[in-house]
């Protein structure tokens, strides 16, 4: 599958004894260490191999201490894969001290070390988006009915942080009353976070950047620690992350940035593809190496992708190619409506699987919006075809898991107001909304946490003796467990706490039946078992409950739910979720104007990013690719006429196959019938399949 290329260095040959050789461009990127380097890595071109081999090369060939090498990517999954590959290349011991992490994990480690300089206690909390939303509702006295308005404010504050806009700058740049009110809320929100000894997800990058900018001593320490920085998916960095990279790199410019401007599809969350271009401005000595050989797809798929993306303007030109053969033409299916589109795609999967004896996991249905999945799910269930929807409810989003994690967060940091509010009445303690509202008002006035406010004498002037007693009792109970968690094994203390509140009985009350309650309690046990494993590892390294809970919280925010690769099922996911993945057979559905490209993006001049989304979808396919569109589609309960996507017109006609323009093929009809009969036989012989998988 890989082109053979002779190795220049015997040590590199030793490093890669068990892996295919690098191609000339990959090898050049690995060996270049004379200054800053941009590796323009096309889809499927082996960029992870380049990063991991370069880490091994720096250690083996140049004698760089692993603790001075930092590799950064965007997901835990990618970081684990990268760390695993590097460790395998270096045979374990040589990789000791190597940092391979996400941006946010690196930020967490930074704040842990520099918490005193930043003005935080060691046991700070991390607020996820739900915690931030709850705090903003509290600050604005909004109810759940106003969630959309508060969410808009949260998004604006997050955008300001990602763009490194200070509170003062937000006030100065406010153009209307709405912006001014958000700027005021931004200030109140940051004060509240500080009072609660907490940071939100964006702060994990913002605080390190601000400190590195303002404190020469801290900057010198981190730049000396980071002798070589490797950054994956550079096109996805926002303004704040870009500054973090610049500050860590310093004047020496020992930076390897790997990215692809054609796969920048996250502008809605602050990503700046122009950061690739800025590298040339900030690092005049920047070297550029292009990875254009694709190891994933057939050449016909790549030529189609190249043709499409050529319609976007480019600073860096590249053209993907493959040695995997020409491959089949890209099929384009025209369907009468959305229901028939889904029925046809499901039928195509059944027919193709019957003919080629493939597994269901080899097929992926990709779409622009989550709402498009519903009709496919229904039809797959009707045909008893197992499937997996990416983006379903994650383990961490389950109510019982959030309850337990909130208790743990409160033990690690009693000033964590979001955790306090979640569990103060779980199980019920007769501490009502009125009591909590008065407690919250008092805490905000005093700039203290809810927990601390429970012990203040002044609170007695706001609450009845009964309400005050209940709050005191709860706060003292939490305080006792907090002290124990610091002195004893935190996992043991957590188990005793869950038993103390009789959480299992609470689940029985809250669940529809005992079976559902037992399933939820199993999730609780999974959290406690995970904590026990973390506690065992962390206690050996001298860490405490704060470190354990910070790790769990960050996994919650970053991981959510990862795909179970062992299960066999058709993959359903959005184009955004599909980035970084590959499948033998891809169906890219809903290729219509207003859908792909999306209506909102067209209104906001986002056509180029929509084209990049289509490009990402096409380049997920390894062997076959099918595109489909509907002539009519239901929108808001009404059937409306649809126009085929302009992107279909931008594809090279010589690589497309429009089967609907040909007379019906009797052989294809017979094959479809056989596939249905085979499916019925499998159902009758295996009753378990009747239920399907979702």
Q: How many helices (H) and strands (E) does the chain have?
A: 30, 18
Q: What are phi and psi of 662, to 5 degrees?
A: -105, 155
The answer to whether 450 and 439 are in contact (CB under 8 A) is yes
Task: Name, in order, each residue with C-beta under 8 angstroms of 12's C-beta and a sequence gap of 6 or more.
Answer: 27, 30, 53, 57, 60, 61
Catalytic residue among 620, 622, 623, 646: 620
The answer to whether 47 is a known catalytic residue is yes
Spatial separation of the C-alpha atoms in residues 482 and 354, rounded to whole Å? 59
Spatial separation of the C-alpha atoms in residues 150 and 174, rounded to whole Å? 18
Question: Among residues 615, 646, 657, 616, which one has the least CA distance to residue 310?
Answer: 615
The answer to whether 279 and 286 are in contact (CB under 8 A) is yes
Q: How many CB atoms lie within 10 A of CB 662?
A: 8
Is the Cα dihedral 381, 385, 391, 394 positive or negative? positive
DSSP H or E stretch at residue 657: strand 656-657
Q: Match 């950047």 to its residue by tokens.
A: 209
The answer to whether 263 is a known catalytic residue is yes
The answer to whether 493 and 411 are in contact (CB under 8 A) is yes
Catalytic residue among 12, 47, 138, 556: 47
The answer to whether 386 and 569 are in contact (CB under 8 A) is yes
| Radius of gyration of the chain from its Cα atoms, rounded to whole angstroms | 28
Spatial separation of the C-alpha atoms in residues 73 and 102, rounded to whole Å? 5
The answer to whether 48 is a known catalytic residue is yes
The distance of Cα 414 from the centroid of its chain, to the nearest Å, equals 28
Catalytic residue among 102, 263, 304, 553: 263
DSSP H or E stretch at residue 55: helix 47-60
Catalytic residue among 48, 73, 156, 619: 48
Catalytic residue among 232, 348, 362, 592: 232
Q: Tokens at residue 194, please?
A: 């500080």
Q: How many CB atoms lie within 10 A of CB 302?
A: 27
Catalytic residue among 233, 262, 538, 592: 233
Spatial separation of the C-alpha atoms in residues 383 and 347, rounded to whole Å? 9
Spatial separation of the C-alpha atoms in residues 186 and 485, rounded to whole Å? 34
Q: What are phi and psi of 52, to 5 degrees?
A: -70, -40
The answer to whether 620 is a known catalytic residue is yes
**Strand bridging mode 125-127 / 287-291:** unpaired
Spatial separation of the C-alpha atoms in residues 67 and 224, rounded to whole Å? 10
DSSP H or E stretch at residue 278: helix 275-282
Task: Name, in order, each residue with C-beta under 8 angstroms of 648's C-beta and a sequence gap of 6 or more.
Answer: 332, 591, 627, 629
Q: What are the Cα distances from residue 694, in Å, to 367, 382, 584?
A: 18, 12, 21
Q: Tokens at residue 436, please?
A: 């909590």
Give the residue numbers annotated as catalytic, written as ranges: 47-48, 232-233, 263, 620
């Amino acid at each position: 599958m890989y082109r053979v290329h002779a190795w220049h260095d015997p040590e590199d040959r030793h490093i890669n004894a068990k892996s295919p050789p690098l191609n000339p461009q990959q090898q050049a990127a690995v060996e270049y260490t004379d200054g800053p380097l941009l590796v323009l890595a096309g889809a499927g071109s082996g960029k992870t191999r380049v990063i991991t081999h370069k880490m091994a090369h720096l250690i083996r060939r140049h004698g760089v201490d692993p603790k001075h090498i930092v590799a950064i990517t965007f997901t835990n999954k990618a970081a684990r894969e990268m760390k695993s590959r590097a460790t395998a290349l270096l045979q374990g011991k040589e990789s000791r001290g190597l940092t391979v992490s996400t941006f946010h994990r690196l930020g967490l480690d930074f704040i842990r070390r520099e918490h005193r300089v930043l003005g935080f206690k060691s046991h700070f909390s991390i607020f996820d988006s739900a915690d931030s939303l709850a705090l903003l509702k509290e600050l604005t006295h909004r109810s759940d009915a106003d969630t959309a308005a508060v969410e808009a404010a949260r998004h604006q504050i997050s955008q300001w942080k990602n763009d490194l806009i200070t509170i003062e700058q937000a006030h100065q740049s406010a153009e209307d009353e709405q912006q001014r009110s958000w700027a005021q809320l931004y200030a109140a929100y940051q004060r509240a976070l500080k009072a609660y000894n907490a940071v939100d997800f964006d702060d994990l990058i913002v605080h390190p950047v601000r400190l590195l900018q303002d404190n020469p001593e801290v900057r010198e320490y981190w730049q000396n620690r980071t002798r070589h920085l490797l950054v994956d998916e550079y096109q996805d960095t926002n303004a704040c992350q870009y500054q973090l990279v610049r500050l860590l790199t310093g004047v020496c410019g020992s930076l390897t940035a790997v990215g692809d401007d054609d796969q920048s599809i996250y502008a809605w969350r602050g990503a700046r593809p122009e950061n690739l271009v800025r590298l040339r401005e900030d690092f005049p000595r920047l070297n550029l190496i292009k990875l254009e050989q694709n190891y994933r797809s057939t050449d016909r798929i790549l030529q189609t992708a190249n043709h499409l993306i050529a319609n976007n303007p480019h600073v860096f030109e590249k053209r993907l190619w493959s040695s995997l053969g020409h491959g089949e033409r890209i099929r384009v299916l025209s369907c009468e409506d959305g229901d028939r589109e889904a029925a046809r795609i499901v039928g195509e999967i059944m027919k193709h699987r019957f003919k080629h004896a493939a597994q269901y996991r080899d097929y992926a249905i990709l779409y622009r919006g989550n709402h498009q999945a519903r009709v496919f799910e229904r039809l797959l269930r009707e045909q008893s075809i197992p499937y997996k929807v990416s983006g379903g409810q994650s383990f961490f989003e389950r109510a019982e898991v959030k309850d337990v994690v909130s208790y743990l967060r409160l033990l690690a940091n009693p000033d964590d107001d979001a955790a306090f509010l979640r569990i103060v009445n779980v199980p019920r303690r007769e501490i009502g909304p009125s009591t909590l509202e008065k407690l919250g008002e008092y805490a905000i006035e005093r700039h203290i946490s809810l927990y601390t406010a429970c012990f203040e004498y002044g609170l007695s002037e706001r609450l009845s003796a009964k309400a005050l007693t209940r709050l005191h009792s709860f706060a003292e109970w939490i305080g006792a467990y907090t002290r124990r968690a610091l002195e004893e094994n935190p996992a043991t203390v957590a188990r005793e706490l869950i038993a103390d509140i009789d959480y299992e009985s609470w689940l029985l009350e809250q669940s529809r039946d005992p079976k559902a309650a037992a399933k939820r309690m199993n999730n609780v046990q999974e959290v406690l078992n995970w904590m026990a494993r973390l506690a065992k590892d962390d206690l050996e390294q001298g860490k405490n409950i704060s470190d354990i809970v910070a790790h769990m919280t960050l996994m919650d925010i970053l991981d959510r739910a990862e795909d179970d690769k062992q299960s066999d099922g058709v993959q359903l996911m959005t184009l955004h979720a599909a980035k970084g993945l590959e499948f033998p057979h891809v169906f890219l559905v809903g290729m219509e104007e207003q859908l792909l490209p999306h209506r909102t993006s067209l209104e906001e001049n986002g056509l180029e990013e929509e084209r990049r989304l289509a490009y990402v979808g096409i380049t997920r396919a390894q062997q076959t690719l099918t595109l489909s569109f509907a002539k009519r589609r239901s929108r808001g309960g009404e059937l409306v006429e649809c126009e085929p996507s302009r992107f279909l017109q931008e594809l090279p006609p010589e690589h497309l196959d429009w089967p609907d323009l040909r007379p019906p093929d009797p052989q294809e009809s017979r094959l479809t019938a056989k596939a249905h009969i085979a499916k019925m036989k499998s159902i009758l012989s295996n009753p378990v399949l009747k239920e399907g998988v979702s």
